Structure 1
Amino acid sequence: NQTSIHEFLLMGLSEKPEQQPLLFGLFLGMYLVTVLGNLLIILAISSDVHLHTPMYIFLANLSFSDIGFISTIIPKMLGNIGSGNKLISYGECLTQLYFFGLFADLDNFLLAVMAFDRYVAISHPLHYAMTMNSQCCVLLVAGSWVVTILHALVHTLLVTRLSFCGPNIIPHFFCDLVPLLKLACSSTYVNSLMLIFVAGTLLIGPFVCILTSYFYIALAILRIDSPKGKQKAFSNCSSHLSVVSLFYSTAIGVYLCPPSSTSGGKNRVFSVMYTVVTPMLNPFIYSLRNKDMKGALEKLLRRKTL
């Protein structure tokens, strides 16, 4: 006698009508800045042969992932706010869930790969060209894509075996896995087990790799005699560390901290930080603090202007 649900209701960030225009303008601006900034990074790297190095190849992939990451969530959110219709179909929800998982995990792996690249460059500079050769770069990037595609597919297929019979209200601004599992009226044991396993390996694993890489990077920097050399090395790493800190602190807060009765609003704020704010900050951090990127962007903009 149970009725199957074919649509979900996304509650969004706020239910107050007077706040909707402000949210629409704010997130539209953040979305445009993110897409434009990351697109400029991709174009600058692809047009300048001096930037065809492992570090910038990984950065171009991170920028592409950030564009896909934010485009999976924000356009639908803006459409719901603009139309006043907060419904999302079952198929749209699963599609959003799949691409969200894909690009979130891809960001996760690429940040770890970039940390490893900086570790080799600073701790073993004489062996950098041999270690981070073109074959190694292709394997790292391709491996990240393959693992994330398979992981997102597994989670999505596991959700398709669940039954949803009410309520259909998702207290979030997109179809995230955790609030979606709470609406299922069939057993979610396998889904929860897979979520814990993935959180313990695909999230914590790269995070530990990043911390280990930067521990050895810090030791290598402290052995540098020149104060100017130390400053340059710390400057190159600080931008990456700031993105890593924001991304992992908020993601771990959403998926690994014990849930509470007041965690719904906190989870939505944390989700905004790692799904919207982090992709928006990447272009500023990696371009404004990097002389090579600033030079490539100036050449690109000058060429387009001419």
Structure 2
Amino acid sequence: MAVEAKGHNTAPEKADISRGIEQAHSHLPEANLGYVAAPMESVTQTARSLARELNIGVLGVRTDESVGIVEPARVAGAGEFSTGIEALRFQASTHQLTAGSFPVNHPKNFLGYALALAAGGDTADIYAENVIRDVASGRRGAILLNLVDPRSDGEYLTHLGAEVVRFAHQQSGSVSAALTRFSEWTGKRTRFTELAPRWAQLARSIAMQYEPTQLIVDVLEQTHAGNSRAVTLSELVTRACELNKPLAIEVFITTGERENALTPDGDLDETQLDNPAIYKSGAYFQFKAQLYHVGLLTSGGTDNGEQALSNEWQLEHAVSL
């Protein structure tokens, strides 16, 4: 069992429980159970939801130093499983590529976190002032896209994150000037390829190094080669499972619905594919929107699960024209 502890010297409610959940989740390949222990005041509904999504338990520490189980942990870690649904669930849960669903829906929000980290000063404050106020989601997205490396002694830019900073110097002259430009884009609905074409191209290159992006593009390229340009969400997931089932399940199917979405043998239950509850909104809304903004897809996502079922996925430009 792995336990991560989070606290705060002066304000217990400010303990970074989300980061603790992510760190506990990172230990699941070596442990059967993962917990985060944090002050009870810091345990928000959002944190509990993230913990459930990642199979992490939450221990709430009260002011009298007593401890209560707020969310129980679920077995999702190391061990030998069968080749059926248990094996598939294990492979998907340990892939760790889309932990907690994909956050926020604009590529500038992930690029901006790398810039805020490089700016010098309080990263969270700089990010909230210049990019968006949802610092935790921006940070998580930057980590997912391999722009930032979270270590026990702090956060560091990866080679890819450093390239974002170099690009900022080239485009704006300094990180500070680039962040000022980012702040001007906040709230704009204009497609990123039109708003900032060169930044969008950089974001596209970064997105293409992310395995879930590669999976989606591979499916859509095959679709295009087969004389069909667009697919629905259920068709996309079905074909993605044919290419890489554990990754497809991790990207698209919510943890809580995998029992319903999969047969005992680990195959997709086709009778469930028209049920919007089985799909991660982070995939059909935020992630799809990001792929639209960088110019890969022809349309963005929707936060309406029913509409997402008929919302088409199509490449803007396919190799097999």
Pairwise TM-score range, normalised by the shorter structure: 0.3 to 0.5
Alignment TM-score, normalising by the size of structure 1: 0.34
Structure with a larger share of its residues in helix: 1
Alignment TM-score, normalising by the size of structure 2: 0.33
